[in-house]
Amino acid sequence: MRLDVVTIFADYLAPLQLSLIGKAQQQGLLDVRVHDLREHTHDRHRTVDDTPYGGGAGLLMKPEPWGEALDALLADPPAGAREEGPVLVVPSPVGEVFSQRAAVELAAEPWLVFACGRYEGIDARVVEHYRTRIRVREVSLGDYVLNGGEVAVLAITEAVVRLVPGVIGNAASLTEESHAPEHDGLLEHPAYTKPASWRGLDVPAVLAGGNHGAVERWRRDEALRRTASRRPDVLRRLDPARCDRHDLAV
Ligand code: ADE
């Protein structure tokens, strides 16, 4: 998978060299390239921003450097890129809320390009223009405002890259976690390790009882209970066809 990130703060993306994402690059599973938007300015001050038409607070990113930077990337596709080009991911508080489902979709793509906005965002014509040429997804991390897209790119990249085959050694761990489609998107059940008793708190007896069926039932029940109390919105999306009578009783 190839990831291109365009930003005015390349240093912000340094953590992409660490941990799982760094290792995936060393293994050749991933090729991350960070590009400085200011390389595509042509004035002495390397200007990337200007005041908004119609007035208002703050500055917007000008379209021309973005057009140049993105055109340069599109003109040089990596080997294995799809005919329709990359998905352009634009982190923005007005985007679709990022989800595990979106992470799964993006993990199936061979090429992602991230455009990190700063200030009050990017001139709206940039997204409008690239929508006519490639697939564009404006993605929000949640209902709050960040100073720019870089932190969102770190979060999205981490969620996506761990789903790329080979990146996580034990693929089963991907299906046994919160929001996994295999568990109907439910929150994960509570989990315990040794010792069996700690500060007067005991691990539920069923987990040490050796009855695999009973363990699975307990985990499903706890996942349903947790989801009902913490994320009723997630529970409401649960497909009744995926539930058994025991589920419905919980
Ligand atoms: N940029 C600014 N706020 C953001 C958010 N909530 N999600 C993604 N990118 C952003």
Do 59 and 94 lie in one domain? The reply is yes
- Do the domain assignments include residue 124? yes
- Say what the pLDDT of residue 245 is: 84
Element (H, E) at 183: none
Q: What is the value of pTM for the model shown?
A: 0.94
Residue 211 sits in a domain of what CATH number?
1.10.1270.20
How many domains, in total, are found in the chain? Answer: 2
Residue in 141, 144, 151, 156 to alter for ligand 1 test, most ligand atoms within 8 A of Cβ: 141
Do 234 and 131 lie in one domain? The reply is no
Give the residue carrying structure tokens 């390389």: 39
- Say what the pLDDT of residue 172 is: 82
**Whether the CB of 141 sits within 6 Å of ligand 1:** yes
Q: Is the pLDDT of residue 182 over 90?
A: no
Do 122 and 228 lie in one domain? The reply is no
- Say what the pLDDT of residue 175 is: 85
Tokens of 94: 């007005």
- Say what the pLDDT of residue 170 is: 86
233 marked as part of a ligand binding site: no
Residue 124 binned pLDDT confidence (cut-offs 50, 70, 90):
very high
CA distance 184 to 243: 9
Residue 190 binned pLDDT confidence (cut-offs 50, 70, 90):
very high
- Say what the pLDDT of residue 218 is: 97
| Ligand 1 midpoint to CA 97 (Å) | 10
Is the confidence metric ipTM above 0.90 for this complex?
A: yes
Q: Is the pLDDT of residue 119 over 90?
A: no
Do 80 and 202 lie in one domain? The reply is no
Do 94 and 157 lie in one domain? The reply is yes
Q: Are 2 and 140 contacting, i.e. CB atoms less than 8 angstroms apart?
A: no
| Ligand 1 midpoint to CA 154 (Å) | 12
Averaged over 86-95, what is the pLDDT?
A: 98
Residue nearest to atom 6 of ligand 1 (CA): 93
Of the listed ranges 3-7, 96-100, 153-157, 177-181, the one predicted with least confidence: 177-181
Of the listed ranges 39-43, 118-122, 231-235, the one predicted with least confidence: 118-122
Give the residue carrying structure tokens 């789903």: 163
- Say what the pLDDT of residue 219 is: 97
CA distance 123 to 58: 13
CA distance 209 to 243: 25
How does DSSP classify residue 18?
A: S
**Whether the CB of 178 sits within 6 Å of ligand 1:** no
Do 119 and 49 lie in one domain? The reply is yes
Residue in 145, 151, 153 to alter for ligand 1 test, most ligand atoms within 8 A of Cβ: 145
User: Which atom in ligand 1 lies closest to the alpha carbon of residue 148?
Assistant: 1
SS3 132: coil
